[in-house]
Amino acid sequence: MDPQMRKTVEDIWWHGVRAVQGRACVARALRDEQVARPDRILAIGKAAAAMVEGAHEVFGADIPALVVTKYGHAGDLPPCCEVIEAAHPVPDENTLIAGHALFQQVQHMSPGTHLLMLVSGGASALAELPEPGTTLASLQAENARMLAEGLDIHAMNARRKELSQIKGGKLLAGFKGELVTTCAISDVEGDALSVIGSGIGNAPDDAAFSFDPFIVASNHIARAAAAERATALGLNVMTDTETLYGDVEDLARSVGEMLRHAPPGVHILGGEPTVILPPDPGQGGRNQALALALSREISGMLNLTVLVGGTDGTDGPTEAAGGIVGGATWREEGTRALKRAESGLFLETHDALFVTGPTGTNVMDLLVALKT
């Protein structure tokens, strides 16, 4: 693909992601909303460390904090932070350790205290305290089943709440203090706090404390920033929608048709596709699968470059964020790769893998297409 076009779509994608990174978003919200200094911080999710850094920027780095995040996402936090890293998307033993620690810290807070909850995508798998009778093995099997069947996040999180003692407002049901402030980075359609992290940062309906929730970052904000960058580069933004929902093959056909007939310019889409996995999937994720399937749909169109990436920097159980494809990317062996769910290996072989590392946020996925 054209190196300059590749550079441009990466530039636009990163501008969108930087606008929703945890540190800046949390710091801005705490200042704008004039949130009082908390007595304790609980941060859960892939962006937990970055979100805590935002709180430290405002209040100082001496507030006791528990940070629950994905392996490799903790960064360099000060001594006041207890860090528990766990597996994602399928929970592991540390997931249960984290869930128990969160439960205990909420339970032990004194009357009159203020708790700051920082929640981002990934929280559902990273921390769990199962209902009696639910084992780690059964949790792992249920999560693997839901992932393989391609369920959307709403269906998955509804099931997770049923199995949990800390999801759906249950964690904060044991809070004896005065105030809970929740800042959340949304990784779900509709930005509902009851769905983000399976509602781990939400208050119960009969809460005996004051509750102030804020959505501090979303896919809409990321897309707006990406569109702003494209405009600043002198490009026309032709599409800006949150429509990347549904199966990757269906999306590849509809988005591919749109791009083939669209006028020149930048096309920005957000959302979270789903993919149904075969019994023994290979190396890849939903964004890599969508990128590969899109390369088939736009094959031969050398005036098109498309980047599809998870804004958290990880696409499924891989180290890649997604893929960057053009009209010359597709090869017939891609058909087998899609069938075997090993799109990542194909993209890596053809220099079309998009790797970012942890980004400090998670607002679902972002597609940037440039047509000249």
Confidence tier at 151 by pLDDT (50, 70, 90): confident
Give dist(CA 159, CA 228) in Å, integer. 38
Q: pTM for this one?
A: 0.92
pLDDT tens-digit series, residues 215-234: 999 999 999 999 999 999 99
Q: What pLDDT does 134 receive?
A: 85
- pLDDT tens digits for range 20-51: 999 999 999 999 999 999 999 999 999 999 99
- State both tokens at 212: 């102030």
In this prediction, residue 304 has a pLDDT band, given cuts at 50, 70 and 90, of very high
Q: What pLDDT does 362 receive?
A: 94
DSSP state of 170: T
Question: pLDDT-derived band of residue 90, with 50, 70 and 90 as boundaries?
Answer: confident
For residue 148, pLDDT beyond 90: no
**For residues 209 and 203, what is the distance between their CA atoms, to the nearest angstrom?**
9
Amino acid (1-letter code) at residue 344: G
With a cut of 90, say whether residue 1 has pLDDT above it.
no
Whole-angstrom Cα distance, residue 58 to residue 78? 15
Band (pLDDT 50/70/90 cuts) for residue 262 is: very high
Tens digit of pLDDT for each residue in 95-134? 999 999 999 999 999 999 999 999 999 998 899 999 888 8
**What is the tally of helices (H) and strands (E) in the chain?**
12, 12
Residue 153 pLDDT grade (very low, low, confident, very high; cuts 50, 70, 90) = confident
* 73-81 average pLDDT score: 91
188 to 7, 198, 207, 254, 330: CA distances (angstroms): 28, 10, 24, 22, 31
The structure tokens 């958290």 sit at: 312
